[in-house]
Amino acid sequence: MPEGNTQPLFTSLMEHSRSMMQGGIGGLPLRVRRLIHQHESEGERLIGWAQLALVITFAILYSLARRPADASMGLFTPVPVALAMYGAFTVARLYLSYRMRLPGWLVVLSILLDTGLLIGLIWYFHFDYGQPAAFSLKIPTFIYIFVFIGLRALNFDPRYVLLAGVVAALSWVGLVVLAVNAGPEGAITRSFVEYMTGNRVLIGAEVEKIVTLLLVAALLALAVARARRMLVLSVQQETAAKEIGRFLSRGLSDVIAKSDEEVKAGQATERHAAIMMLDIRGFTRFAAGVTPRDLVAMLTGLHARLLPVIHANNGVVDKYLGDGIMATFGAVNPSERPCAEALTALEAIMREAEGWSEELKSRGVAASL
């Protein structure tokens, strides 16, 4: 590849990666961003409930499990205290998630506490069993780190997934350094047999754990980034569909949104339908003598009476023609008796119109449908 093309390609890859991680919501309208933030808040609440379930599960398992015979019988054990403190923080975090959108610093703090709690408990094991520090590196509790990384995938922000993975990897690096420094001389070994059968540190094995943590976090972050992009696209389409529904008749926008194939100009479906045209008598004379506000109020008052009747009889308002209304029966929503539905609707409309006319007459306005 020519040298001149390397920099643009690298820049393009970086911009694409940054766009995937951020979800590309910066340029979206405010109402769309609010909907996305609502989904993110729901994700944080789900994470809070999952954390609370984990705390309760750990507490139950700890209370039911028999203490190993080779464990220290000291009066103080940090596990119940740590679980109680973490449980209190989880409840507080869950409460705040229902009161507001959690700030970024609180989410970061939660990630640090998740990992710090687990690493602290793992480190305590060698004290509890009176073993060298390298003993803690073989504790099966290590696998719960992946659970805390996976928790971050319940939200739609891949940055927090990556942060959880990096924090876990750095914490394990720190734990390995502590185990080497706190252990006896010659704690590091290159023999896999000595590593498995004794309290020795095999650097290669620990590097594999660290790389695995980072790989899992990276893969989850990519999956969450793709999910976030789908969320953004879904919210955009949902918002657009609602906006279109404001300008199209009810039923027509649903047909467009639920169509299996893309709607194309000229594509039509033949159906038996009835069309109803409604018009206000005396509207021109009335409109010439009132303010625009009163004119709109009269029209909306009539529409509030007629639309429920039309919809109740399987009708759809196709358009508003000034003071007129064009409604169809059987065109948008298929029907075997569109004419009968139109006539039934017309009878109910004329009854509503009489009440509307009497209401206007009491205010000195002569108009009828």
Same domain? For 72 and 191 the reply is yes
**Cβ neighbours for 56, distance < 8 A, ≥ 6 positions apart:** 87
Check residue 102 and report its DSSP letter: P
Q: Which two structure tokens, joined as six digits, stand for 226?
A: 């793709």
The pLDDT of residue 280 is above 80: yes
Decide if 99 is inside a domain: yes
Domain, as residue range, for 350: 274-361
Per-residue model confidence (pLDDT) at position 11: 52
Decide if 251 is inside a domain: no
CATH number at 348 reads: 3.30.70.1230
Per-residue model confidence (pLDDT) at position 13: 41
SS3 for 273-301 is CEEEEECCECHHHHHHCCCHHHHHHHHHH
Check residue 334 and report its DSSP letter: -
Decide if 111 is inside a domain: yes
AA letter at 341: E
Decide if 252 is inside a domain: no
Same domain? For 106 and 182 the reply is yes
Our count of domains for the chain comes to: 2
Q: Which of 132, 214, 128 is nearest to 173 (CA)?
A: 214
Which pLDDT tens digit goes with each residue over 5-34?
Answer: 555 544 544 454 455 445 556 667 777 777
Average pLDDT over residues 67-93: 73
Same domain? For 196 and 297 the reply is no
Same domain? For 89 and 197 the reply is yes
Q: What's the pLDDT band for 249 if we cut at 50, 70, 90?
A: low
The pLDDT of residue 60 is above 50: yes
Average pLDDT over residues 260-272: 69
Lowest mean pLDDT among 18-27, 198-207, 341-350: 18-27
The pLDDT of residue 315 is above 90: no
Angle (deg, nearest 10), helices 158-182 and 203-247:
170
Same domain? For 296 and 201 the reply is no
163, 108 Cβ separation under 8 angstroms: yes
Out of 226, 245, 264, a domain closes at 245
Same domain? For 140 and 67 the reply is yes
Decide if 307 is inside a domain: yes
Per-residue model confidence (pLDDT) at position 244: 64
Q: pLDDT > 90: what percent of the chain? A: 16
The pLDDT of residue 212 is above 90: yes
The pLDDT of residue 325 is above 60: yes
Same domain? For 176 and 59 the reply is yes
Residue 244: C-alpha distances to residues 93, 214, 237, 252, 339 (Å): 39, 44, 10, 10, 28
Per-residue model confidence (pLDDT) at position 258: 63
Same domain? For 160 and 208 the reply is yes
20 burial via Cβ count (<10 Å: 0-12, 13-18, 19+)? middle
Decide if 265 is inside a domain: no
Average pLDDT over residues 31-60: 84
Q: Alpha-carbon distance 76 to 25, whole Å?
A: 50
- Pick the residue with more confidence: 80 or 329? 329
Per-residue model confidence (pLDDT) at position 9: 46
Average pLDDT, whole number, for the chain?
A: 80
Q: Alpha-carbon distance 22 to 33, whole Å?
A: 12
Same domain? For 287 and 221 the reply is no
Q: What's the pLDDT band for 266 if we cut at 50, 70, 90?
A: low
Same domain? For 219 and 126 the reply is yes
Decide if 263 is inside a domain: no
